[in-house]
Amino acid sequence: MIKKLLNPSTDRADLILRIALGIVFFAHGSQKIFGWFGGFGWTGTLGFFQQAMGIPPFLAGLSFLAEFVGGVLILLGLLTRPAALAIAVTILVAGLKVGLPNGFFLDSNGPNNGIEYVFVLFLLAIYFVIKGSGRISLDSLLSKRNG
C-alpha cells in the first residue's frame, strides 16, 4: 500500500489533468462559437475581439476554433499534442493581450483579470504538447493499432 501511495500511476493523473483542460476549453470555445454557458456566440464575441482588443476577425475565429475543437480533442485524447499546441498559442496571446497588463493575480473583487489563471492553463497545455495524451486515450489506442 505504501508503494502505491508513493508511486502512483501517472496515467490516471494525466487523464484527470487532460479532462480538466479539455472541459475548460470546450466550455470557453462553446461560449464564443455557440453562445452556450452565458457566452455571446460567434458574432458577438468576434465583434468584441475586433473592437475592444483590435484582433482581426480571422485570428479571432481561429482562436475560437482552437478552444472548442482543441478542448474536444483533448477530452478524447485524440491528436492531443497538436490540439494542446493550438490551445497553448491561443492562451499565450490571451495572457499577453489581456492578463499581463492587469498584473499577476486575479482580482476577485473587481474586473481585473491577472495572468495567474492563464499561466496555469498555458503550462498545462505545454505539458500535453511535451508528454502527449497518456495511456488512457484514443491516441494510445490508435498508436497500438498502427504499431
pLDDT tens column, 36-46:
999 999 999 99
As a whole number, mean pLDDT of residues 19-38 equals: 96
Q: Per the domain annotation, does 31 fall within a domain?
A: yes
pLDDT at residue 6 in the model: 43
Res. 132: pLDDT tops 50? yes
Number of domains comprising the chain: 1
pLDDT at residue 147 in the model: 59
In whole angstroms, give the CA distance from residue 19 to residue 7.
22
- Of 75 and 140, the structure prediction assigns the larger pLDDT to 75
Confidence of residue 110 (pLDDT cuts 50, 70, 90): low
As a whole number, mean pLDDT of residues 5-12 equals: 54
Q: Per the domain annotation, does 3 fall within a domain?
A: no
Res. 140: pLDDT tops 50? yes
- Of 18 and 115, the structure prediction assigns the larger pLDDT to 18
In whole angstroms, give the CA distance from residue 131 to residue 137.
13
Q: Which of these, 21, 46, 26, 50, lies nearest to 36 by C-alpha position?
A: 26
Q: Per the domain annotation, does 4 fall within a domain?
A: no
pLDDT tens column, 49-100:
999 888 899 999 999 999 999 999 999 999 999 999 999 999 999 888 877 7
The CA dihedral of 94, 100, 101, 105, to the nearest 10 degrees, is: 120
Q: Domain range holding 104?
A: 12-146
**Confidence (pTM):** 0.86
Q: Per the domain annotation, does 5 fall within a domain?
A: no
Query: Which grid cell sits at 1?
Result: 500500500
Q: Per the domain annotation, does 93 fall within a domain?
A: yes
- Of 108 and 56, the structure prediction assigns the larger pLDDT to 56
